[in-house]
Amino acid sequence: MSTPSVSIVIPAYNARHFAAALASARAQTYGELEILVCDDSPGDEIAATVQAAADPRVRYERNAARRGFAGNFTYGFHASRGRMVKFLNDDDRLAPRCVEILAAVLDANPAVRLATSRRRVIDAAGQLAPDEAATQPVTRVSALMRGLDLADFALGNSINVIGEPTTVLFRRADLAVEGDSIFRWGAHDYHCLADMSLWLRLLANGLAYYAASPLSEFRRHAGQEQERDEVRFACLLERAWLLRQARSAGFLATPAHWQLAVRALRARAQAWEPIARTDHAIAAGLEGFLAEVASLEALAETA
């Protein structure tokens, strides 16, 4: 199909759970669909899985040289053909009606910039795991809401209630890309908060739709980069960047909203204090970060 309505883009690297991700994409009930696999892996297992599927909707591209996290997502975004885009992480899964439900909302309402849903956590074996704070329902019924309100709720609690890349569907034309990375916003390249850097740009100028039924599953398993302490600590700095950039984009416009967001950031920093007592590198980084939080707190008076 040369002009599909929706592209499911799988920036693939780890073959371990890729077959399940691909199967969930191929099981979509939505008809006008392409599935683009951007293979950044060092081996041939992902290619073999695609070949075995023999599905004409699947377009496979092997990267000549490794593009890395941001590069593979960015390439997939530009190489996809659909007017709507849904990323699918190579270890996550979509519910069969995920694209059908979310695409119908975007087609029916041009003011909606982002369609998302409740998502569930699964473990390494694909079994449902308990909800986390971020996966608690935003609302018990499916609803339209102002993008600014949804974003302020996420920023004020320092929790990504909007979802991972797998969760959201959006129009290609609605995403403004800075330079050579879709995860660049305000001159910063985001890694830990890459998804939020996308969602906030979309939510600044329109409505959001939240489907109360779980339409995707994201996997928690040992070996994921984001589970390492040093990576989680590095995310703190990105949270500070995000708050500053969000404020300049019109989010957290009242002193109360701004103070709530900065307090949530300070609470995250304080959770690292016990580790900092025995880890000199984290102690040094935490001292600098708390100085940054103090600077953000000072902005509350002019918010």
Does 295 or 200 have the greater pLDDT score?
200
Strands 143-146 vs 207-219: parallel, antiparallel or unpaired: antiparallel
pLDDT score for 131: 93
Q: What is the mean pLDDT of residues 287-300?
A: 84
In the DSSP assignment, the letter for residue 15 is -
For helices 194-203 and 229-248, what crossing angle results, to 10°?
A: 20
pLDDT score for 301: 62
pLDDT at 303 over 60: no
Residue 69 CB neighbour total at 10 angstroms: 15
Amino acid, single-letter form, for residue 156: G
Q: Which two tokens stand for residue 229?
A: 């302490």
Q: Are 110 and 182 in contact (CB under 8 A)?
A: no
Residue 269 CB neighbour total at 10 angstroms: 19
pTM of the complete model: 0.93
Give the CA radius of gyration of the chain. Answer: 19
Look at residue 46 and give its three-state secondary structure: helix
CA distance linking residue 261 with residue 106, whole number of Å: 29
Strands 112-122 vs 58-62: parallel, antiparallel or unpaired: unpaired
In this predicted model, what pLDDT tens digit does every residue of 142-161 receive, in sequence order? 999 999 999 999 999 999 99
> In DSSP terms, which residues pair with 211 in a beta bridge?
117
CA distance linking residue 151 with residue 117, whole number of Å: 14
Q: What is the mean pLDDT of residues 262-273?
A: 88
pLDDT score for 135: 94
pLDDT score for 229: 63
